[in-house]
Chains A and B, each alone.
Chain A
Amino acid sequence: MVPVPDRDSARYWAALANGALELQHCRDCGHWTWPPRPVCSGCQGENLAWEPVKGTGKVYSWVVNHRAYAPEFAALVPYTIVLVRIDEQDDILIPGRLLSAVEVYQDLRVRAAPERLTDDIGDLNWVALLE
């Protein structure tokens, strides 16, 4: 299912289309903001710069989805959705499908696996980092 970007998120989706996970980084307070928003979640300022993050984190929680909630997902069922706490900041939990066929557990290390859907829109899923 292709996301519908808005004026605040277009850059985020475009970066993913180009293979990069970029988030808004505040030049005033240093906070990272996700999902993309017009103001910083740390200081509510607008002095935000798009910057790539490392793209790594660890699984906080997960579900195994057995039901296709929309026809687009029917071919994927069952699939695992992980909620990933990114390394840059504790309070950012980003969901995505776990593409690796591994046993999932809390704190499993993962990295972002962006995928191009259209020229302007990419997808964000996760793969296990084997250390």
Chain B
Amino acid sequence: MSETRSRFPRRQAAIVGIGCTEFSRDSGVSTFKLAARAVKAAVKDAGLRVRDIDGLATFGVNDSISPNVLAQALGIESMRYYVDQWLGGSVSLSVLGQASLAVSAGVAECVVCYRALNGRSEIRLSGSSSSRMRPPWDMQFRVSAGYIAPAQEIAMAARAHMLRYGTTSEDLGRIAVLSRHNALDNERAMMRQPMTMEDYLASPWIVEPFRMFDCCLETDGAVAVVVVSAERAKDLPHRPVLIQGAAWGGGVNIVNNGRTDLAESPAKLIADRLYSAAGVGPADIDFAELYDCFTYSVLSQIEGYGFCEPGGVPAMLAKGAFDRARGSLPINTHGGLLSEGYIHGMNHVFEAVQQIRGQAAHRQVARHDVALVTGQLGYVSGYSSGVILAGG
């Protein structure tokens, strides 16, 4: 009886606005101000007003401003949906997926997802931890080993992949070089000087097998995106970017028993669900913005999201498959976290929306209707997240 009357959930959601601040090493302002600026810019881009917002969602490790505080400062009096998700890049896209569910269900009408951080000048997530940062539960089992940084955990997985499939430093280097190349003509990017393979190989070890250029930047800045119903999106200025599918979750992380093969991509645990939700497969993806806290994360996701068999990425790199201008699957068209900036994955959404709208200027890819955008794959928290976006 009741199920026939329920309208929960009832509609599709779309991204209709994007906003960001400058990406820098020292913003000189609070994360509160960064968040407010990005949210206001995104709402303006959407052709809406701040008072139209009735939902705010973010994530972080106690290093940023909460939705309720931000809402009150922005004069939003009708908050219906607010999420302050604790965790890092693994939830960067589940926050967006959850916002789209809230809109789909009619819980809220206009949700803005944002990430604001002073990741270089205030609280660095690289492992040089601040006492303000909330550590993961398993940190007590890592501190005595000096095994406290995401770079170390993912380097451990990269080593396992090298041992199993013969992956080389040069393979990782090609990903770093490609990302830098894509950043050169991106006015938002922090790193706009060219990088060669020689530069990559000459960069200092951070945690072998990772060199400095295997690791993402540390950035001050903010990004916000506006989610409304697909129907309402039709009346707004830009081409709607439909949230075709979203998936998040996974299994276990490195230090919790159950994962015995680190070479296997944790992204595999959500890939089928994501494609099935979106009604598309890997062959339908025009371009991908893959969470690239480290070069190896990109390689592992290309496998995990089904673009090749395990061990197949080097051959694709050699063929130029991921090149922005000519490749069959352009990736990280803005330079990614490696060369654009580290807004914890939200800058990937910003770029994907610009590409789908056809607003990416010199960076514009030829086929730009369907994008895969991902969060950190489940090596650190154990969970991955991703969305498939499509032009409406």
B-binding residues in A (CB < 8 A)? 1-6, 9, 33-35, 41, 60-67, 69-70, 72-73, 76, 78-79, 81, 83, 85, 89-93, 95-97, 106, 117, 123-125
Contact = CB atoms under 8 A, between A and B. Distances in A.
A65 B207 contact: yes
Contacts of B210: 63
Given A1-B143, A65-B146, A93-B259, 20 more contacts: A1-B148, A2-B144, A35-B140, A61-B157, A62-B159, A63-B207, A64-B205, A64-B207, A67-B149, A67-B151, A69-B127, A69-B128, A70-B127, A70-B128, A81-B146, A90-B260, A95-B141, A96-B144, A106-B163, A125-B144
Contact of A91 (B127, B149, B258): B258
Contacts of B157: 61
20 contacts: A1-B144, A9-B141, A35-B140, A60-B160, A64-B205, A65-B207, A69-B128, A70-B128, A70-B129, A83-B254, A89-B257, A91-B257, A91-B259, A91-B260, A92-B257, A95-B145, A95-B156, A95-B255, A97-B145, A123-B144
A64 B208 contact: yes
Given A3-B143, A35-B138, A96-B145, A41 B257 contact: yes
A33 B252 CA distance: 14
A106 B163 CA distance: 8
A9 B140 contact: yes
Size bracket of the B interface: 35 or more
B78 interface: no
B207 A67 contact: yes
B206 A66 contact: yes
B126 interface: yes
Nearest to A1: B143
B119 to A, nearest CB: 15
A33 B145 contact: no
Contacts of A33: 257
B140 A6 contact: yes
Contacts of A90: 260
A81 B160 CA distance: 13
A70 B208 contact: no
